[in-house]
């Protein structure tokens, strides 16, 4: 009755399971990347402009550096 399936065993089931796990991992990572890209937020929740403003407020940047970086981000005039 099962003579036609002699070459198929548990190894093929394991490979199929591995492919399923890899597929869903890729889907989940892609969705997470799209959400991050669409929101423009870093993992901490701050945007690049927020981080830049914080650095300027701490005195890490001069006014010229701040204006140039803000312009580079597309936020400048």
Q: What is the pLDDT of residues 7-51, one digit of tens each?
A: 566 666 778 888 999 999 999 999 998 988 887 665 566 778 888
Burial class (CB in 10 A: 0-12, 13-18, 19+), 17: exposed
For the chain, which residues make up each domain, given as ranges? Answer: 1-39, 41-77
Res 9: pLDDT: 63
**Residue 4 to residue 53: CA distance in whole angstroms:** 69
Return d(Cα 49, Cα 63) in angstroms, integer. 14
pLDDT for the residue numbered 53: 93
Q: Rounded to two decimals, what is the model's pTM?
A: 0.43
């Amino acid at each position: 009755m099962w003579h036609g399936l002699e070459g198929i065993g548990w190894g093929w089931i394991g490979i199929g399971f591995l492919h399923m796990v890899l597929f869903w991992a890729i889907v989940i990572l892609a969705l997470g990347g799209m959400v991050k890209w669409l929101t423009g937020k870093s993992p901490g929740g701050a945007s690049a402009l927020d981080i830049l403003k914080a650095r300027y407020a701490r005195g890490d940047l001069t006014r010229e550096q701040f204006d140039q970086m803000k312009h580079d981000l597309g936020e400048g005039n």
